[in-house]
Structure 1
Amino acid sequence: MATLEIKDLHVQVETESGPKPILNGVDLTIRSGETHAIMGPNGSGKSTLAYSIAGHPKYQVTSGSVSLDGEDLLEMTVDERARAGLFLAMQYPVEVPGVSVANFLRTAKTAIDGEAPKIRTWVKDVTTAMEKMQLDSSFVQRSVNEGFSGGEKKRAEIAQLELLNPKFAVLDETDSGLDIDALRVVSDGVNRFTGQGDRGVLLITHYTRILRYIKPDFVHVFVRGKVAEQGGPELAERLEAEGYDRYLRESAGA
């Protein structure tokens, strides 16, 4: 069983007026086979958590730890974190003009596995992944995300997830900008990933609609840079009905 463990994580970012604390002591443990949903208001630090785990240089960890199977992720470069088994699906996938999806995927797979995939089986795997995500086969010849719609970008990222097959996937608002059809396709892709039984997911979202398709084992309420409450799927339904006002009032008075 693999484990992604976050202990008392504090993170800040540099601003024009100096360092600004964003995360204020995050504790979270995700194990193989578990799906954890993080919900919270805008500006609560959810995306900061995702990018800090992945190693974005903008975010400075001031204290705490992040480990994967006991190995210190914070001491690793971004590519080392990927090889250790971490995957980040970004809220706003980046366009990479001049780099085809086909070359990007094969280069990434080679870097993670330490050897190039066999061409014949790899082409079949890529074609199958694209078909599952309802992306035309011609997409692999286009530049990464260039000219893609929002839904196409998100579906392409889940195709990457399926092909790279990490131990843990951090999905940062993968549902944002999706219509209902694209949401179902993306959710099916995530469920195929978790259906292997030995893969974990940290799903960051504002809304419960994706949780109707991807059933979380745990729901965490994120407010002012830390976990304010955690529970099961029923907590998400309560948030849908009540919102975050109570947590904001409590944290302001703390």
Structure 2
Amino acid sequence: MLNIENLHATVADKPILRGIDLVVPAGEVHAIMGPNGSGKSTLAYVLGGRPGYEVSEGSAAFDGADMLSLEPHERATAGLFLGFQYPVEIPGVSYLQFLRESLNAQKRARGEAELSGAAFIKLAREQAAVLGMDAEMLKRPVNVGFSGGEKKRAEMVQMGIMAPKLAILDETDSGLDIDALKAVGAGINAIMRSPDKSVLLITHYQRLLDYVRPDRVHVLSRGRIVRSGGPELAHELEREGYAEVAA
């Protein structure tokens, strides 16, 4: 699903990624952990196509295609979803309208039939129920007045509606209380646990991985993946810290 080879990237001419090699097969959830400043969010933004993040060397293939040659909206149309650590607020824009326009824009680009208003509302209510979220909240402006947990639940509803092939989730657990953490973990499992879908889950802490059990865990340090292992590696990081494990 995702194949990264020797990926180097800079931000404002400063090298951040220094040779990332990573394969995430279809049907698997991989977690990336690491200390602050190691390049985790940079990796997510590079794969998402955020301006200002420049690839200087290497490649990244998504579903067999060169994703680095695609514009951000083309990556989304191909089935990529990027979840943000801090979802943005968009005053004056209804979340429902935002989601419907986003979904139908992708359907038009793929030559698929657009959803009617009634069909979309039904879909939105179903996905909100998966996350234990009151669908009435989606009538409000995008993320305006939402708590941290509500923003993350709404973003998971968005992921369910868009139905991506690959979800890259950048510190989705940031700012979540225990109940929200459980709900988000259950949502990721319900939406993305499938033989034809994959998840790259970026996190500082092991706690989310109690609810979304990864197939592989990778440690990112100083712009490189320095260790990989099974779910037990996350527990080792929790006990020993990054300094010991990444040494």
* C-alpha separation in 1, matches of 2:95 and 2:119: 17
The correspondence of residues 157-196 of structure 1 with structure 2, limited to 5 A, is 157-196=155-194
Q: Distance in 2 between matches of 1:187 and 1:155?
A: 10
> What CA distance in whole angstroms lies between the structure 2 residues aligned with 1:32 and 1:112?
21
Q: Is the 2:60–2:67 contact (alpha carbons within 8 Å) kept by the matching residues of 1?
A: yes
Q: Which secondary structure does the structure 2 equivalent of 1:42 belong to?
A: coil
Secondary structure of the 2:118 match is helix
What is the identity, as a one-letter code, of the residue corresponding to 1:139? M
| Residues in 2 aligned to 1:195 and 1:238: alpha-carbon distance in whole angstroms | 25
Q: Mind listing any 5+ residue stretches in structure 2 that lack a counterpart?
A: none
Counterpart of 1:21 (choices 12, 15, 34) is 15
2:234 and 2:119 map into 1 onto residues whose CA distance is 41
Distance in 1 separating the partners of 2:138 and 2:236: 42
Instruction: Select 2:135's aligned residue among 122, 134, 137.
Output: 137
CA distance in structure 2 between the aligned counterparts of 1:30 and 1:108, rounded to whole angstroms = 26
Q: CA deviation at 1:99?
A: 1.1
Retained in 2: the 8 A contact 1:37–1:220? yes
Offset of 1:105 from its aligned partner?
A: 0.5
- State percent identity of aligned pairs: 52
Aligned to 1:62: 56
Q: For the residues of structure 2 that align with 1:118 and 1:22, how far apart are their CA atoms?
A: 44
CA contact (8 A) 2:130 2:190 kept: no
1:100 corresponds to which of 88, 94, 106 = 94
SS state at 1:216 partner: coil
1:245 aligns with 243
CA contact (8 A) 1:228 1:247 kept: no
SS of residue matched to 1:61: strand
Between the aligned partners of 1:242 and 1:227, the Cα distance in structure 2 is 18
The 3-state SS of whatever aligns with 2:76 is helix
Compute the displacement of 1:247 (Å): 5.0
Distance 2:135 2:237 in 1: 40
1:197 alignment partner AA: P
> How many equivalent residue pairs?
243
Deviation at 1:97, TM superposition (A): 1.0
Offset, 1:134: 2.2
Q: Answer whether contact 1:193 1:199 (CA < 8 A) is retained.
A: no
Give the alignment partner of residue 147 of structure 2, picking from 146, 149, 167.
Answer: 149
How much does 1:4 deviate? 1.1
State the alpha-carbon separation in 2 of the partners of residues 223 and 162 from structure 1. Answer: 31
Contact 2:9 2:54 in 1 (8 A): yes
For residues 142-196 of structure 1, give each alpha carbon's deviation from its aligned partner in whole angstroms, at most 9, with x where no partner exists: 1111111100000001001111011000000000100000000000000012333
Q: What corresponds to 1:90 in structure 2?
A: 84
Question: 1:58 is aligned with what amino acid?
Answer: G
Distance in 2 separating the partners of 1:184 and 1:51: 26
Of the candidates 67, 73, 98, which is equivalent to residue 73 of structure 1? Answer: 67
Among 31, 34, 37, which residue is 1:40 paired with? 34
1:50 corresponds in structure 2 to 44
Residue correspondence of structure 1 range 175-254 to structure 2 within 5 A: 175-246=173-244, 250=247
Per the TM alignment, residue 122 of structure 1 is displaced from its structure 2 partner at its CA by 1.6
RMSD (Å), alpha carbons:
1.1
- Aligned-pair CA distance for 1:103: 0.7
Of 125-134 and 173-182, the range deviating more from structure 2:
125-134
CA distance in 1, matches of 2:76, 2:116: 21
Letter in 1 for 2:98: F
Distance in 2 between residues matched to 1:195 and 1:68, nearest whole Å = 18
Report the secondary structure of 2:9's partner residue: strand
